[in-house]
Structures are given as structure tokens and as C-alpha cells.
Amino acid sequence: MGTQTPTDRHPDTGFSVNDTPDEVNRFIHQRIMAMEPARRLIMGFSMLATGRQLAMSSIPANLPKQERMRKLYERIYGEVCPIPPSRSTQA
């Protein structure tokens, strides 16, 4: 029927980094899981904000905000934003 795609996740860590030894991934995973859930959530939000800043830094600042958001979507998801541009951002 279909083929089974092998996972690139390391056992018992939830990580899919393949350039780090398994024992290091396990150590990092244990340290993160030892944190309080609220701290892990804040850590995730912080990483998301950093990624967003990095992506936004590569988009021209002189574009209207709505167009910058469309470009951010395209940068993150690798596809054209499905929401049509508003009349104010069309040339």
C-alpha cells in the first residue's frame, strides 16, 4: 500500500536533530522536561519570537504592514499566502 517513512526523531527525546549524539539529545531533553511547564512554555514563546524577528529582518521594512505579514507567512510556510492582498496593498 504505502511505504513507511522512517522517523528522524531520536528515541525518548522528541528531538529530530541528527547532528548531535543521542546521549547529548537525551541530556538536553531530560533538562528541559525537568523544568516547570510554564517555564517550558515561556521558552517556546521566546524561541518563536526570535524566529519571527529573524524572518522579519529579511523582509524590506518599507513595505506596508499587511504586505510584510504576507511575506512573513510565505517565508515561514514556503508557500504563497492563501489570503488575498487587500486593495490597499495592491499596486
Give the pLDDT band of residue 1 (cuts 50, 70, 90).
very low
pLDDT, mean of residues 56-61: 94
Query: Domain tally for the chain?
Result: 2
26 belongs to a structural domain? yes
Mean pLDDT of 50-70: 94
Range of the structural domain that residue 43 is part of: 11-57
Encode pLDDT of 4-57 as tens digits: 545 555 556 665 667 778 888 889 889 999 999 999 999 999 999 999 999 999
**Residues 24 and 48 placed together within one structural domain of the fold:** yes
Q: Decide if 5 is inside a domain.
A: no
Same domain, 20 and 48: yes
**One domain, residues 41 and 63:** no
Q: Given CA atoms 18, 40, 58, 81 in this order, what sign does their dihedral have?
A: positive
> Cα(50)–Cα(43) distance, rounded to whole angstroms?
11
pTM assigned to the model: 0.62
Element (H, E) at 66: helix 65-77
Helices then strands, each counted (H, E), the chain: 3, 0
Calpha distance 73→82 (Å, rounded): 9
State mean pLDDT over 55-60.
94
**Is the predicted pLDDT of residue 70 greater than 90, yes or no?**
yes
Q: What angle do CA 33, 8, 42 make, to 5 degrees?
A: 30
On whether the CB atoms of residues 69 and 47 are closer than 8 A, the answer is no
Residue 75 belongs to a domain? yes
